[in-house]
Structure 1
Amino acid sequence: MLWDFHFNLPTSIEFGKGKVKNIGKRAKELGGNKALIITDKGLAQTGILDKITQSLDQEGVNYIVYDEISPNPKDVDCESAYQKFKNENIDLLIGLGGGSSMDTAKAIGTLLTHGGELRKRYGVNLLEREIPPLICIPTTSGTGSEVTRGSVITDTVTKQKEAILDLKIAPKLALVDPELTVTLPKSITAATGMDALTHAIEAYTCKVAQPLSDALGLYSIELIAKYLPLAVENGHDLEARKNMLLGSLVAGIAFDNTDLGAVHAMAEPLGGLYDTPHGVANSIFLPHVFEYNIPSNPEKHAMVAIKLGANPEGKTIEETAYEGVVLLKELANKIGIPSFRDLSNVNPEDFPFLAEGAFKHLCTQANSRDLTKEDYLNLFQKTYEEKTTTLIES
């Protein structure tokens, strides 16, 4: 654990039922005269978008709705949106939806203030100017993008996911309203919830973990382990939805102040190549990477296992830690996460390419245990050999 550390929380957070109704007032406070709302077509057809536009109308804030977002946002789509809106005098951005919408909002904001191609902005702290003020409104309990300084975009040339990491793209405000998540389908609830759990576990176990993020990570793990199955079982269980949204938010703050690890290093090349939903990819690799990492820090992995529900009585630290592997697999199976082999477009011949991408990924450096390219290849193969699971209904 790092005892010399720096902790950032540049985003103001409003959490609770009905908070989305405040967006008109908050938009004006941020100096917004013309907002660009970035969302997807599904949300654009729901009453959620209406709540936002009505609030903006009441405060006299003009807006344009851009609803061309798709999962795993691509560079060409962000650049197309920039070309469409660059002369519209946009002075406020609103990201409504899951991580794809919020990450796209950050990318469009980057282009609005810097111009050019998006790939020239990939990297850490490379931006020269802040993007227009950004308000993020999550409708899933997964990415934590409403409180992070990262935007993950698929590069259509390299087929890899790339990231812009800079405080200059961090949201100014997160309006976090659990009522917006109650209609989320079971399969998306499961996948995004496991994404948040991965964030919490990797933030807690990675090499650059620090005291504040450790506290947040453990709290998030405990919340998600308890409430994710309940939220999947009954989406209208507002108590479960509230705690899942809180777990996701807390995990986002944790990993934004530390780093992630090999689970993300494997999941992002998979998403870049096959367009696999990010939460599903994380879920698939999490137990296997967790098991691989245990020797690097048995105590921390045992603590994760305890937060997942393991009973340490009469067991060694290592035995408790390895029980965490079983619990992660049981959780994924219970909520209907598919196995690697269940993904119809996966080709084992691509594993060397995926291993190469994982090894080069920035998260590899922070992973709890060092990995070689061969280690990644072995993990891809081992995960693929895992037996299949039964899928839940959407």
Structure 2
Amino acid sequence: MTELTFMTPPRIICAPGALARLGDCAASLGGTRAFIVTDPGLTRLGYDARALAALETRGISGAVFDRVEADPPYAVVREAVAAARASGADLVIGLGGGSSMDTAKVVALALNSDQTLDEMVGTEQATGTRLPLICVPTTAGTGSEVTFVSVLTSEEGLKKAIYSSKILPDVALLDAELTLGMPPHVTAAPALDAMVHAVEAYTSRTRKNPISDALAIKALQLLTANFDTVLTDGHNVQARSDMLLGSMMAGMAFVNASVGAVHALSYPLGARFHVPHGHSNALVMGPVFRFNIPAAKTLYAELAAITLPERQFNADEDAANAFVDTLEAMLARSGLQTRMAPLGVTEADIGPMAREVTEKITRLIATNPRDMTYDEVVAMYRSVL
């Protein structure tokens, strides 16, 4: 029997209109004063007001922190912790994309911990007892609502990851209505991010496991089948629900199997140039996956059979290349920028980014199907400059 430990939230609710159940969820966790962590864009859309109204149905008061930034900087996270402490919160709600949910996880833990953020970084380094935590995604991408990881940006501009069972949410509340009407580029980047999660989980060199494999396969089926629909029809509830479910399943898969070199190469793009995480993953996924083919062609071929069932291939390498071609074609159709230079990256930036990958983000190279050198990382970056 395969030995593994698999962690996921104890309660998952996935239904259109599920935000209305937020008060019931909070009450079931004993909450009386909720602290909602979100971003300014969602406040403008009135999502925080809808959340507060749902809490009010159960007599639960709420305070809102809406200053979350992409790739949340330490300073913003500390500001959120201070605001939560001042509010007297006894429950935390992450409402938004991955940055809001990752911030909410740390807030829920930091309120009952004396640790600094740097002391929490790493695997199971966090101490203390977190407050009850509910995560409500508004994009179908990061899967943060079902993961025990929070990725922050240090003062030095480096991505820092906290891996701790303590920050696994109590409830993941998925409401596809919160994703309706999003512009195509806002829809596309998280969707491609979720696909990368599924692929890297399925091909993890160190933590691949049968449960993550099953979740990754179903996630890819849902995500690839609905990708074009959600880009062209922003109000298709069924397609949006399937994307949200696929994103969540990909999140469950990768957090228990790990991601790989796509994430390693994407991190410097986010930290240095503030490219949104999903977009930065999408930019480098083609070069990384193609580089991996010599080591992972059989696994990529298996995924090609899932995502391209109408195609027949004579060899695993042909299937693997077709699979990568399919993902790159999705990026091309997404409306997202497909090159780094228009985003501010220059040839002079490639060397420092490659050094960061090979010297400081080695944990993600270790899980990748194939090792890579500095020169190979440079070549991959240059291919999408």
TM-score calculated relative to the size of structure 2: 0.95
CA deviation after TM superposition for structure 1 residue 315, in Å: 1.7
Equivalent residues in 2 for 1:311-326, closer than 5 Å: 311-326=310-325
Question: In the aligned structure 2, how far is the partner of 1:344 from the partner of 1:51?
Answer: 35
Equivalent residues in 2 for 1:104-183, closer than 5 Å: 104-157=103-156, 159-183=157-181
Equivalent residues in 2 for 1:182-261, closer than 5 Å: 182-207=180-205, 208-261=207-260
CA deviation after TM superposition for structure 1 residue 310, in Å: 6.3
Question: In the aligned structure 1, how far is the partner of 2:379 from the partner of 2:324?
Answer: 17
Question: In the aligned structure 2, how far is the partner of 1:271 from the partner of 1:150?
Answer: 17
Tell me, yes or no, if structure 1 residue 291 matches structure 2 residue 294: no
Question: In the aligned structure 1, how far is the partner of 2:305 from the partner of 2:375?
Answer: 31
CA deviation after TM superposition for structure 1 residue 132, in Å: 0.7
Question: In the aligned structure 2, how far is the partner of 1:340 from the partner of 1:353?
Answer: 18
Alpha carbons 1:291, 1:322 under 8 Å: kept: yes
Q: Residues 56-89 of structure 1, C-alpha deviation per residue, up to 9 Å, x if partnerless?
A: 1121111111101121111111112222332432
Alpha carbons 2:9, 2:172 under 8 Å: kept: no
Equivalent residues in 2 for 1:347-366, closer than 5 Å: 347-359=346-358, 360-361=360-361, 362-366=363-367
Aligned residue for 1:86, secondary structure, equals helix
Aligned counterpart, 1:373: 374
Aligned counterpart, 1:390: none
Q: Cα distance 1:314–1:216, how it changes in 2: closer, same or farther (>3 A)?
A: closer
Question: In the aligned structure 2, how far is the partner of 1:342 from the partner of 1:355?
Answer: 16
Aligned counterpart, 1:333: 332
Q: Residues 352-380 of structure 1, C-alpha deviation per residue, up to 9 Å, x if partnerless?
A: 22112222312111001111222212211
Question: In the aligned structure 1, how far is the partner of 2:46 from the partner of 2:275?
Answer: 28
Alpha carbons 1:143, 1:196 under 8 Å: kept: yes
TM-score calculated relative to the size of structure 1: 0.93
* Stretch of structure 1 that moved more, 115-124 or 203-212: 115-124
Amino acid at match of 1:167: S
CA deviation after TM superposition for structure 1 residue 314, in Å: 4.6
Alpha carbons 1:79, 1:111 under 8 Å: kept: no
Q: Residues 318-361 of structure 1, C-alpha deviation per residue, up to 9 Å, x if partnerless?
A: 11111112111111111222122353311221112211222231
Alpha carbons 1:310, 1:320 under 8 Å: kept: no
Question: In the aligned structure 2, how far is the partner of 1:119 from the partner of 1:183?
Answer: 38
Q: Residues 76-113 of structure 1, C-alpha deviation per residue, up to 9 Å, x if partnerless?
A: 11112222332432110000010011011112223212
Alpha carbons 2:35, 2:87 under 8 Å: kept: no
Aligned counterpart, 2:94: 95
Q: Residues 257-295 of structure 1, C-alpha deviation per residue, up to 9 Å, x if partnerless?
A: 110000000111210111110011000111111111111
Aligned counterpart, 1:6: 5
Question: In the aligned structure 2, how far is the partner of 1:16 from the partner of 1:235?
Answer: 17
Aligned residues: 382
Question: In the aligned structure 1, how far is the partner of 2:222 from the partner of 2:341?
Answer: 28
Question: In the aligned structure 2, how far is the partner of 1:182 from the partner of 1:378?
Answer: 39
Question: In the aligned structure 1, how far is the partner of 2:98 from the partner of 2:208?
Answer: 23
Aligned residue for 2:136, secondary structure, equals strand
Alpha carbons 1:221, 1:308 under 8 Å: kept: yes
Amino acid at match of 1:130: T
Q: Which runs of 4+ in 1 moved over 6 A?
A: none
Tell me, yes or no, if structure 1 residue 303 matches structure 2 residue 299: no
